[in-house]
Structure 1
Amino acid sequence: MKRLLLLPAVAIALVSQAQAQNVTVTGRVTNAAGQSQPGVTVLERGSNNGTSTDGNGRFELSVSPTATLVVSAIGSATQQIPLNGRTILEVRLQDAATDLNEVVVTGSRATEGRSNVLTTSPVDVISAREIKVFAQTDVSQILTYIAPSFQSSRQAISDGTDHVDPASLRGLGPDQVLVLVNGKRRHSSALVNINGTVGRGSVGTDLNTIPNASIKRIEVLRDGAAAQYGSDAIAGVINIQLKDDTTGVQASSTVGQTYEGDGRLYQADANVGVGLNGRGYLDLSGQFSNRGYTNRSGVDTAPLIYLGGNSGTFPASANTEQLRRDLKAQDDALVAQRGYDRRNLRLGQSEARTYGGFLNFGYTLVPAVGLEAYVTAGASRRTGKAAGFYRLPNQVTQTDATLYPNGFLPFINTTIIDQSIIAGLRARALGFDIDLSNTYGRNELAFDISNTLNASLPVGISPTNFYAGTIAFRQNTSNLNFTRRFTNVAVLSTLNVAFGAEYRDDNYQIEAGERGSYENYGRVIAPGPPPTFAAAGAQVFPGYQPSDALNRSRTNTAGYVDLESDITEKLLVSVAGRAERYSDFGNNVSGKLAARYSILPDVAVRGAISNGFRAPSLQQRYFTNTSTQFVQGAPNQVLTVNNDNPIVRNGFTAGGVGQQGFGIGSLKQEKSKNYSLGLTARILKTGTITLDAYQIDIQDRIVLSSQFSRANPTVAAILGTLPVSQVQFFANAVNTRTRGIDVVANQRLDLGPGRLTLTVAANFNETEVRKVNSSPTIDADQTGLQNTLFDRQQRGRLENAQPRSKINLTAGYALGIFSVEARTVRFGAVQYKDARLDNPGANNGFLFSSIDQTFSAKWVTDLTLSAQVTRQIGLTVGASNLFDVYPDKYRVNVLNNEQNVAVGALAYNSSRDNTNRGRTIYNPNQFGYNGGFYFARVIVNLPTSN
């Protein structure tokens, strides 16, 4: 390994020795009509030495005198031009018959890539240019606006999920899509989403740890692929391919802010590409990003701020309208006297500062056998700051007037450190391409809580900052793969054979926070009886306790075989099978059959059938913590208990007395059945269209239950004397069916003196919960425990919380050094469903009116204008969400309750839960709620030769 890491330095030394032998070649590239073509790639064949043409179609490149130049551009046929002693060239491009049909490698292990309209499964290809053309600067947001089947939106007031965006493919969960980097499995985030967001109970991959500058292209396979790649690939696969063909320095800087004046962005990145004398490549990429927070909160409508009870409610003694009005007048006077701002929440994207870099290196050691060493390594550090709910000065169990006389807004600060390295060897032997690799990845998330306190400490002495602990996930994967292409095998035109083995080791850790972040020091607020105690632990995020700390590992061994054959010129068939054994839950076998048949020369049908699986993550199996959560201002100790705990399983013995459990079985793998059928066609030589329908049935889908309350007799019997009032846990609780259609159409044509590119892409999907998998203990309870295991709010998150449709319309026009890009995306409607309607008779006297709400579909438009000012410098200005579109607002629901009756113009808002009080205005799950954003970007290209 150490020798491999020394190779980049040795190779760079070889480069300088070769430069003196080169000659300088100049030239001009035009299209078929004789017009100058900027941005055309010119490479020396067999190396990564190259450049691109300037605004006048001209280039200059230092190459070997015997070189062959490769000239390529999207939409044009690639040309290979031997110099034969020439130093001046005129190159005229011709339109390619397969215009816009990118060659892809994801979804097939064939030795030769295929056009994305010639594959058996649908694959989207996002190029480096598409990544740079609009305002989005992190991978999850880029994919959200380019790939209709992909969805991610930033969350707020959701603890760690404020800092790691949950993402989904085809409407499924964040952990049901597999992420690859250069075709190798990427490790997941350490964070398990346990709050009320999309993806609750899941563990995704943090795509935003990968710098944009390092990305050559992103391939999105929209089909089940567990038989090919293993666990998690139920919805599909995202393969991020890093740059391996650049030369010189490419750098960009982006600045921008929202129309509201917040959310300022300062971002800079750079990529340095070096060709290693025709035998390899070295690409170094780095990125810095500083993103400011946004705030789209409303005004706190709590009747009382300084007086009254918790959450600004009237005390029981204020039992007439006159007494309430008098108390309200006194409180309003205090608000005015102290200058209190009722806009006391910070609701929007979190602050984030990111430093990251990637290295991608390959070098041919022995050309005769194709022995190549390769290394891909990356590291990033992201710090973030997000707010929780404001603690009012009258919330005496949660605050301390000597420290915060006007209440306080606590913050969750995170430090996310991500590290990865892929190292391997490729070679050819006995006709096989052999690939031996090892992939290591680690993701760590540390929590520091600021502007807070531990209210259970004696008055006036609590610290205001706490270290709350760290979670970490590590994964190490070793692969050995063999691939060979056979021709004229019996009656088969071709046969590609691939097989291999994989060994993976996973590890998950929780480190406890400092004592003050979780301890209960027993401060009494009121002597009672019964006594009222102050809340324990750091407000907003109590630290992980020593009892939560853990260090758990598991291993996985897998083998696979993959066959693909052009049985005839018209029929392509692929078959894959995979067997896996996990050390913690057992075995799994999955398979896939896919085919493509050409009906006409330019029209084909394709389809696939497969079964897949997703192994329960270590985070889902072992995560545990105890936190204080407030319901109507009253503190509740909530225990998130791991699935192996006797409380979840079959009970335990306490003090010699047996107690029952919930009877939930051990977590097992989710199993899926995938079906797809599609049509592909080429249109007018330069256009393509694909239409793919799919159905995904998932059995034993893992969810995090709702909170079981001790108020229920069955739950009270299970919890016994444990000092908690509520409990939640993971379970294979539901079976779901997802159906949908993907449509993608591209067209490129000459229009006047320039070229017009059009894209229409759309996804329509629907997820239905078909069955709830409970237990005899839960089913036997007649008070609605099954609704608690999986309530209607959770059902709503799976079925309706994300857009069921998304339509992307994009147009680009290039004319000389200028180009304009316009894109409008229709985000379909989403719904909010309230769990309290599961049991409306048990709502403590509250009557809710029209709590459920549908948020209508919206169009969001982006526009950019670009100019290639010189060969080296390009400028782009534009706007994201040009027309400043926001989601629908939450409705205000007035509670028909004596304690919370509207006073004057101040109405109590219960649209999401009874702590929001009008401060939460928008649903974040369509496209966020930052509004319009304008930006400017400068791009610098400094090509070098060697």
Structure 2
Amino acid sequence: MKQLLLFLVLVLILVPAWAQNIAVTGRVLGGNGSAQPGVTVLQKGTTNGTSTDNDGSYRIQVPSDAVLVFSAIGSATQQINVNGRTSIDVRMQDATTDLNEVVITGSRASEGRSNILTTAPVDVISAREIKAFAQTEISQVLTYAAPSFQSSRQAISDGTDHVDPASLRGLGPDQVLVLVNGKRRHTSALVNINGTVGRGSVGTDLNVIPLASIKRIEVLREGAAAQYGSDAIAGVINIQLKDDSTGVTASATGGQHYEGDGAVFQADANVGIGLGGRGFLDVSGQFLNRGYTNRTFEDTAPLMYLGGNSGNYPGGAAADTEAERRALKEQDDAIVAERGFNRKNMRVGNSEARNYGGFVNAAYRLGGNLEAYVSGGVTHRTGKAAGFYRLPNQPTQSDLTIFPDGFLPFINTTINDQSAITGLRANIAGFTADLSNTYGRNELRFDIMNTVNASLPQGPGIRNQTEFYAGTLNFSQNTTNLGFSRKFTNLGSLATLNVAFGGEFRVDNFEISAGELNSYTNGGRLIGTTPTASGAQVFPGYQPSDEVDKDRNNVAGYIDLESDITEDLLVRLAGRAENYSDFGSNVSGQIAARYSFLEGLALRGSFGNGFRAPSLQQRYFTNTSTQFVSGVPNQVLTVNNDNPIVRNSFDDPIQKGFGVEALKQEKSVNYSLGVTARVGRTLTLTVDGYQIDIDDRIVLSSQFVRANPTVNAILGTQPVSRVQFFANAIDTRTRGIDIVANERLTLGENSRLGFTIAANFTETEVRAFNSSSSTINNDPTTGTTNLQNTLFDRQQRTRIESAQPRSKINLAANYGYGIFGIEARLVRFGEVDFRDADPARAELVDQTFDAKWITDLTLSAQVLPQLSIMVGANNLFDVYPDKFRLHPRNNPNNFSVDPATSFNSSLDNTNRNRFVYNANQFGFNGGYYFVRLNVTLPTN
């Protein structure tokens, strides 16, 4: 309520005097004299705009001293001073390049600059590029279009199956800030706690925004915490919504993988409406249905029904010698054949998903130079992901009266996401003022099906529950901004000076709601003296003790100065101070410059510090989950950093603990140096090197196990076998280089050819381990440092350093002739590593997965002025990552190691041929083909 009152007071302050406007009309023609429909006509420095109709005509209300900007894809942008004229005709000329776009991200200047004239590297992905290939979600579009960006879908990782972890320059999902129309976007409610890339992080769910609503995506590849605040350590992704469309555009896409699964159907539409020359209304919607994929193989576990050496299967099956094992295997095989058991019992691949979403973007000039704007969207997504198959020889995790052949449990995830941006823009004393309020909310609900709580009573006349509500995560954020900017000219020796300053007030809230009782309880059932597993198999529900409702607020102020000191030298200074209610204050700054020492050739660079505040999810998330470690199910407790288990010391008389300090902000220092060049009229080249040092980086620890006496004493009577928690555990250094070259050639009146070469090479190194805990640094029971090794083990280190491709190269070309077009793209995903947590197993399972080239191809034809068709393929040559290879000595079950005679043919009962593809550089679903229809209709 206080924020709303403040917002209303500032609205009244910002209402300015009305100015005299005039109506400007005219006609826009192409270079050959033909009418040019769909050309954007925009009042410079505002969102007041319109588009030309079918005969190239336009009408717009602007001040008499306004500057009009005429732009269209494939044409050079023109700026024309009105100077009181009421009629202006324009002839467009073919653009020498369509990549020399004006960008706003990375600078608070009142006027944008070309992306090769900025002090920082910015990738611009246009609406045309977004729709050029098969991808239907933002994270996948950026993975293939921007080499410094990486995201791959995960499998068997709970909610992370539906919220793709993404990274920029090899850093974490929570170290890149996402903006929509320049305003901070809220993060997901989900914290990744499973063994995936981005483990322990909280990212932004990009895929809730329909592609049809996007005008362009700007990827700022530079630390920008001094400009935008927390999370912008690696850079910023700004999604600009369509704001200048007239007419209706719609598309329908259908496709599936070569294997015959993973069918995708997408339909989207965008409607742009001009509001009498005083504004626009742009509405977009999307429906997306994605089927699951499965790239598992037949389960090679030696026993499916009989209990093997465990002896816990009814009947007490056991075997000690090789002969007994073979006899037991024959009995088990006979049962498998009799019951028709399907050894392809896992589902490893994309989850099922269905997505409904709508977005709106609008602005209206209320009078004079006062403009109101609003944007936002609502998305509802449902997903279904599989877990590990529970075999019929695992009665402690099953109810054999319901599932005599075992069962494959499913996690049904419902994601609801809402956002709204409202604001006013005006001119006050020569300053452009912008007052806005941004609200966002993300909710994940978990419903578990085709599963049981094995601890509940079983037997004749008892029907165990097979579906459970497991709880809900919710994160919301409200941000109020007030900013001012002004460009000064003719200031003595300075050619220009842009001054921007402002403030921000933000409130975050995180909630966990418990699931139903049977989703987490232990019903007390025993098999002999062996206890059974608590809670719903695959995903025990959140318990009442897990419930939280925590919030915090943040107050920030910033200043940004940018000056063309001379025609050749551009300098930018930025500073930001922030205060968080839960951990204190931070100040960050940045200096950046660009110097043109030859015509068409310039040097640019920056230096600054940044920070990332620990998310509320990292501070307060807690739950107990079932996680498979080396094929064995474990009850893993994820405990929040404030819990006595984490914070208290081991010698505390009441509650023993690890003695870890409270979470604090990550601090970073960013360096960059690059060269930009224009060769001739059409070739542009940028090369940018960078170094990012991060201290006190927040990670989710490795899992501490009860086998360690100290851990056992700390866990006490907790019904779990492992524990993990968040800590500022490491310092890292990331170094890399980005290279981008573009060439656009006009070969004739109806023929254009374009090339792009882009590459990213990056390397992250863990430089130090941090822990002030005497318990972790010196195990009080054994006097060793083994707990320090567990805090951040070699597998966790590999996830940070080399689980993402360390290089990516993008080669793209497009050619158009008449109504036909062809787009081709080759992307090389660099090598990645897998390292086991236990150094003793390094020789057995450690592996480096080689780099792979992925080829995409699209053919298109404009069959009618209103209709075009595209056909194509992603991963045209059906390339897969390297398979996971096991060393012959990896034989934990002590069966014969001769694969020709042993029934344990996989030689590893933990992998069992189910996870053949352990690398995830680009997914492991193989080739995909699609067809897309695009329709464009005028509104008049």
Q: Same fold (TM over 0.5)?
A: yes
Q: Distance in 2 between matches of 1:311 and 1:825?
A: 48
Instruction: Work out whether residues 377 and 421 of structure 1, in 8 Å CA contact, stay in contact via their aligned partners in 2.
Output: yes
Q: Which residue of structure 1 lines up, in the alignment, with residue 614 of structure 2?
A: 616
Instruction: Work out whether residues 392 and 408 of structure 1, in 8 Å CA contact, stay in contact via their aligned partners in 2.
Output: yes
Instruction: Work out whether residues 75 and 748 of structure 1, in 8 Å CA contact, stay in contact via their aligned partners in 2.
Output: no
Q: Distance in 2 between matches of 1:829 and 1:632?
A: 24
Instruction: Work out whether residues 901 and 908 of structure 1, in 8 Å CA contact, stay in contact via their aligned partners in 2.
Output: no
Q: Which residue of structure 1 lines up, in the alignment, with residue 468 of structure 2?
A: 466
Structure 2: 5+ residue runs without aligned partners?
9-22, 63-67
Q: Which residue of structure 2 lines up, in the alignment, with residue 548 of structure 1?
A: 546
Deviation at 1:868, TM superposition (A): 1.2
Q: Which residue of structure 2 lines up, in the alignment, with residue 497 of structure 1?
A: 499
Q: Distance in 1 between matches of 2:490 and 2:629?
A: 71
Deviation at 1:317, TM superposition (A): 3.7
Residue deviations 1:754-804 (CA, integer Å, cap 9, x gap): 110000000000000000112222111215111110000000000010000
Q: Distance in 1 between matches of 2:649 and 2:366?
A: 61
User: Which of 920, 923, 927 in structure 2 is aligned with 1:932?
Assistant: 927
Among all aligned residue pairs of Structure 1 and Structure 2, give the percentage whose two residues are the same amino acid.
Answer: 67
Instruction: Work out whether residues 225 and 231 of structure 2, in 8 Å CA contact, stay in contact via their aligned partners in 1.
Output: yes
Deviation at 1:123, TM superposition (A): 0.3
Matches within 5 A, 1:331-730: 331-367=332-368, 370-459=369-458, 460-526=462-528, 531-631=529-629, 636-651=634-649, 657-730=653-726
Deviation at 1:723, TM superposition (A): 3.2
The SS at the match of 1:133 is: coil
Indicate how the Cα distance of structure 1 residues 142 and 704 shifts in structure 2: closer, same or farther if over 3 A, else same. Answer: same
Indicate how the Cα distance of structure 1 residues 716 and 86 shifts in structure 2: closer, same or farther if over 3 A, else same. Answer: closer
The reply to whether residue 761 of structure 1 matches residue 758 of structure 2 is yes
The reply to whether residue 922 of structure 1 matches residue 897 of structure 2 is no
Residue deviations 1:133-164 (CA, integer Å, cap 9, x gap): 10001000000000000000000001110010
Q: Distance in 2 between matches of 1:293 and 1:549?
A: 32
Cα-Cα RMSD: 2.8
Deviation at 1:742, TM superposition (A): 0.2
Indicate how the Cα distance of structure 1 residues 722 and 534 shifts in structure 2: closer, same or farther if over 3 A, else same. Answer: closer
Q: Which residue of structure 1 lines up, in the alignment, with residue 153 of structure 2?
A: 154
The SS at the match of 1:760 is: strand
Letter in 2 for 1:679: V
Q: Distance in 2 between matches of 1:743 and 1:334?
A: 60
Q: Which residue of structure 1 lines up, in the alignment, with residue 743 of structure 2?
A: 747
Indicate how the Cα distance of structure 1 residues 538 and 44 shifts in structure 2: closer, same or farther if over 3 A, else same. Answer: closer
Deviation at 1:442, TM superposition (A): 0.3
Indicate how the Cα distance of structure 1 residues 598 and 166 shifts in structure 2: closer, same or farther if over 3 A, else same. Answer: same
Letter in 2 for 1:688: T
Instruction: Work out whether residues 377 and 422 of structure 1, in 8 Å CA contact, stay in contact via their aligned partners in 2.
Output: yes
The reply to whether residue 93 of structure 1 matches residue 93 of structure 2 is yes
Matches within 5 A, 1:217-232: 217-232=216-231
Q: Which residue of structure 2 lines up, in the alignment, with residue 74 of structure 1?
A: 74
Matches within 5 A, 1:186-201: 186-201=185-200
Q: Distance in 2 between matches of 1:629 and 1:428?
A: 57
Deviation at 1:651, TM superposition (A): 3.8
The SS at the match of 1:282 is: strand
Deviation at 1:731, TM superposition (A): 0.2
Q: Distance in 1 between matches of 2:295 and 2:117?
A: 46
Residue deviations 1:30-65 (CA, integer Å, cap 9, x gap): 46xx9x89987365879644358xxxxxx4256459
The SS at the match of 1:74 is: coil
The SS at the match of 2:859 is: strand
Q: Distance in 2 between matches of 1:823 and 1:568?
A: 40
Deviation at 1:313, TM superposition (A): 11
The SS at the match of 2:174 is: helix
Instruction: Work out whether residues 153 and 924 of structure 1, in 8 Å CA contact, stay in contact via their aligned partners in 2.
Output: no
Indicate how the Cα distance of structure 1 residues 630 and 818 shifts in structure 2: closer, same or farther if over 3 A, else same. Answer: closer
Indicate how the Cα distance of structure 1 residues 795 and 856 shifts in structure 2: closer, same or farther if over 3 A, else same. Answer: same
Q: Which residue of structure 2 lines up, in the alignment, with residue 883 of structure 1?
A: 877
Instruction: Work out whether residues 686 and 748 of structure 1, in 8 Å CA contact, stay in contact via their aligned partners in 2.
Output: yes
The reply to whether residue 772 of structure 1 matches residue 762 of structure 2 is no
Larger relative contact order (Cα-Cα within 8 Å, sequence gap ≥ 6): 1
Deviation at 1:635, TM superposition (A): 5.1
Q: Which residue of structure 1 lines up, in the alignment, with residue 279 of structure 2?
A: 280
User: Which of 728, 740, 753 in structure 2 is aligned with 1:732?
Assistant: 728
Q: Which residue of structure 1 lines up, in the alignment, with residue 19 of structure 2?
A: none
Residue deviations 1:690-746 (CA, integer Å, cap 9, x gap): 000000000000000111112112212222333332211000000000000000000
Q: Which residue of structure 2 lines up, in the alignment, with residue 304 of structure 1?
A: 303
Indicate how the Cα distance of structure 1 residues 399 and 568 shifts in structure 2: closer, same or farther if over 3 A, else same. Answer: same
Q: Which residue of structure 1 lines up, in the alignment, with residue 16 of structure 2?
A: none
Q: Distance in 2 between matches of 1:100 and 1:709?
A: 54
User: Which of 768, 790, 807 in structure 1 is aligned with 2:792?
Assistant: 790
Residue deviations 1:193-223 (CA, integer Å, cap 9, x gap): 0000000000000000100010000000000
Q: Which residue of structure 1 lines up, in the alignment, with residue 18 of structure 2?
A: none
The reply to whether residue 815 of structure 1 matches residue 817 of structure 2 is yes
Indicate how the Cα distance of structure 1 residues 311 and 558 shifts in structure 2: closer, same or farther if over 3 A, else same. Answer: farther
Q: Distance in 2 between matches of 1:253 and 1:475?
A: 34
User: Which of 779, 785, 805 in structure 1 is aligned with 2:807?
Assistant: 805
Instruction: Work out whether residues 119 and 593 of structure 2, in 8 Å CA contact, stay in contact via their aligned partners in 1.
Output: yes
Letter in 1 for 2:241: L
The SS at the match of 1:608 is: strand
Indicate how the Cα distance of structure 1 residues 148 and 75 shifts in structure 2: closer, same or farther if over 3 A, else same. Answer: farther
Letter in 2 for 1:472: N
Q: Which residue of structure 2 lines up, in the alignment, with residue 892 of structure 1?
A: 886
The SS at the match of 1:397 is: helix
Matches within 5 A, 1:49-60: 49-51=50-52, 59-60=54-55
Letter in 2 for 1:417: N
Q: Distance in 2 between matches of 1:122 and 1:900?
A: 57
Moved more, 434-443 or 39-48: 39-48
Q: Distance in 2 between matches of 1:300 and 1:751?
A: 57
The SS at the match of 1:274 is: strand
Indicate how the Cα distance of structure 1 residues 37 and 742 shifts in structure 2: closer, same or farther if over 3 A, else same. Answer: farther
The SS at the match of 2:845 is: coil
Q: Which residue of structure 2 lines up, in the alignment, with residue 327 of structure 1?
A: 328
Q: Distance in 2 between matches of 1:261 and 1:483?
A: 55
Q: Which residue of structure 1 lines up, in the alignment, with residue 836 of structure 2?
A: 834
Letter in 1 for 2:258: Y
Instruction: Work out whether residues 216 and 244 of structure 1, in 8 Å CA contact, stay in contact via their aligned partners in 2.
Output: yes
Deviation at 1:461, TM superposition (A): 2.6
Letter in 2 for 1:864: T
Structure 1: 5+ residue runs without aligned partners?
6-20, 53-58, 841-846
Instruction: Work out whether residues 302 and 312 of structure 1, in 8 Å CA contact, stay in contact via their aligned partners in 2.
Output: no
Indicate how the Cα distance of structure 1 residues 426 and 751 shifts in structure 2: closer, same or farther if over 3 A, else same. Answer: same
Indicate how the Cα distance of structure 1 residues 439 and 312 shifts in structure 2: closer, same or farther if over 3 A, else same. Answer: farther
Instruction: Work out whether residues 70 and 81 of structure 1, in 8 Å CA contact, stay in contact via their aligned partners in 2.
Output: no
Indicate how the Cα distance of structure 1 residues 897 and 382 shifts in structure 2: closer, same or farther if over 3 A, else same. Answer: closer
Residue deviations 1:256-297 (CA, integer Å, cap 9, x gap): 011111110110000110111111111000000000000001
Q: Distance in 2 between matches of 1:134 and 1:576?
A: 38
Instruction: Work out whether residues 505 and 553 of structure 1, in 8 Å CA contact, stay in contact via their aligned partners in 2.
Output: yes
Q: Which residue of structure 2 lines up, in the alignment, with residue 250 of structure 1?
A: 249
Q: Distance in 2 between matches of 1:607 and 1:69?
A: 30
Q: Which residue of structure 1 lines up, in the alignment, with residue 865 of structure 2?
A: 871
Q: Which residue of structure 1 lines up, in the alignment, with residue 172 of structure 2?
A: 173
